[in-house]
Structure 1
């Protein structure tokens, strides 16, 4: 039995690390991809996780497969493709904010028949994001996986992580980002994505509209302000954790991986009997995990282990 299976992109984040003496930008080839990040984050925090996706038959693909395996992520659902492994070129500003340029490849080519439905059915949670809805066979495969999970009673988690460079227009992005919402149980949004999905910047009103669509747990990340939640008609804000930011890449994925790791630890039905105080403790834990990721560079390399968070105290607050 898997706790969490994630489907979508695993890729190389070519992340700027500085400049050389001639002012030429220097880049590190970090492993990344939002769903893969979530799987690794949750695994590092004690969950049994698996990943379904596609990499190229190249050095980067072999490297990403090894990284997932080293982080105890089950890769039985990972396929290879003749196309090159996908890359995201990540430039980082002086304040740690990121800008992306994607070079798409193998991740787009995951076919519906390549999706391991047995792996999904044997999991407590299926997680996916919107990058795999942008193009190619992966769009159909991802929606099929979410529908399959829903039919099997598997909790569906979704992060409509908006990357404008991947869409022809914002209108097209919003249309496809909204399409899976009827299948979703747990939704994680950033404060930038909330108005795209709901038409309002107000977390109270935006999450009310989403709850009315049948989404059970809605989380909105607010950067250093913390995380906002709506659960069973109740809302709250859990404060963030102050940190010196090196790189925000992977912070939201770490947050969600931490949340899911604590939810699946509750049992076969992760949301059953969940109380607001228990949820707030889970979110406080997730905020600390995200803060730790922000303090270091890269996505997967920056993610904390459970031991690291325990050193900071209150690791068992949930």
Structure 2
């Protein structure tokens, strides 16, 4: 089982201007939420560990996860509201996020809640802004330390300075995580925000030297860089697609990568360390195909396994 940890929230889009303001539409989302749904649509049976409110938004999030086939029995239900995030998409389809709420349900996950997470999980995925706000960040770090050596630890920083504006918090979280991370997925945008002036290749070297088994850097239309100590660095081109927006593309990529590794019995640190180049490139190609599908439609609409496997 892959346990996905972090936030579930609502993304709020502006559909149009009105005389009195804006016509808005609200969509279920949050990077870890999307990842859990993406895994389920690819035929996996993930578990979601994140705070779910009892308000109307939280009830919808819980229902949506269950409908998709995500196990939510571990998800805490704190007495707090659901976070709402506005998504402002530019002409190139790139989103900017603004969070409304600072004492919301996704943050109110505490150490006692860790009893809900199974010790025998195959993989634990952490990331996004729940690794940069409290008390949930400390709780997830405690979970990582508990599962380090038991489960594969996957990490996607998914930096959001509009939510946590202190770069030092993000860099501290990343530097804390690297020695205990087996699979790091990070975007070139994240690198630029946290480590201005540092190249993706330099960040790959930093992560490998810190002990990460597999490092993947997503670079949008420039494709993907990935490396292990044994296989060295490799690049794949991005698939050509008519981009509607890139919301959820990184989450889709990570879901597809984890699913591919699980199917091929590669979801362990030892297996990642021993990956040969053909196996690594095949995993990246599958994940890239999945991400391209998400880019071709509005919002984080994750593809099914059938859609990915039948794509040209």
Q: Which residue of 1 aligns with 2:88?
A: 91
Q: Contact conserved, 2:4 with 2:124, CA < 8 A, in 1?
A: yes
The 1:291–1:116 alpha-carbon spacing in structure 2 relative to 1, beyond 3 Å, is: farther
Count, aligned residues: 306
| TM-score relative to the length of structure 2 | 0.92
Deviation at 1:26, TM superposition (A): 2.9
- What SS does the aligned partner of 2:242 have? coil
Matched, 1:280 2:278: no
Q: Residues 206-221 of structure 1 correspond to what in structure 2 (within 5 A)? A: 206-221=203-218
Q: Which residue of 1 aligns with 2:29?
A: 32
Deviation at 1:226, TM superposition (A): 1.1
What RMSD, in angstroms, separates the aligned Cα atoms of the two structures? 1.9
- What SS does the aligned partner of 2:148 have? helix
Q: Contact conserved, 1:198 with 1:210, CA < 8 A, in 2?
A: no
Write the deviation string for residues 33-71 of structure 1: whole angstroms up to 9, x where unpaired.
111211111221122211001121111111000111111
Deviation at 1:24, TM superposition (A): 4.2
Q: Residues 224-303 of structure 1 correspond to what in structure 2 (within 5 A)? A: 224-233=221-230, 234-267=232-265, 269-271=267-269, 272=271, 273-299=274-300, 302-303=301-302
How many Å separate the matches in 2 of 1:198 and 1:220?
14
- What SS does the aligned partner of 2:71 have? strand
Q: Contact conserved, 1:198 with 1:209, CA < 8 A, in 2?
A: no
How many Å separate the matches in 1 of 2:275 and 2:242?
33
Q: Which has the higher strand share?
A: 1
Q: Residues 43-58 of structure 1 correspond to what in structure 2 (within 5 A)? A: 43-58=40-55
Q: Which residue of 1 aligns with 2:175?
A: 178
Deviation at 1:133, TM superposition (A): 2.3
The 1:39–1:116 alpha-carbon spacing in structure 2 relative to 1, beyond 3 Å, is: farther
| TM-score relative to the length of structure 1 | 0.90
Q: Contact conserved, 2:83 with 2:100, CA < 8 A, in 1?
A: yes
Write the deviation string for residues 109-143 of structure 1: whole angstroms up to 9, x where unpaired.
01111124642x22211001041122222111110
How many Å separate the matches in 2 of 1:21 and 1:130?
33
Q: Contact conserved, 2:218 with 2:225, CA < 8 A, in 1?
A: yes
How many Å separate the matches in 1 of 2:46 and 2:292?
22
Q: Residues 77-116 of structure 1 correspond to what in structure 2 (within 5 A)? A: 77-104=74-101, 105-116=104-115
How many Å separate the matches in 1 of 2:202 and 2:70?
37
How many Å separate the matches in 1 of 2:266 and 2:309?
25
Of 154, 158, 172, 1:157 maps to 154
Q: Contact conserved, 1:117 with 1:148, CA < 8 A, in 2?
A: no
How many Å separate the matches in 1 of 2:201 and 2:165?
30
How many Å separate the matches in 2 of 1:63 and 1:173?
30
- What SS does the aligned partner of 1:293 have? helix
Deviation at 1:213, TM superposition (A): 0.5
Q: Contact conserved, 1:159 with 1:189, CA < 8 A, in 2?
A: yes
Deviation at 1:200, TM superposition (A): 4.8
Write the deviation string for residues 77-114 of structure 1: whole angstroms up to 9, x where unpaired.
11212110111111112221111111231111011111
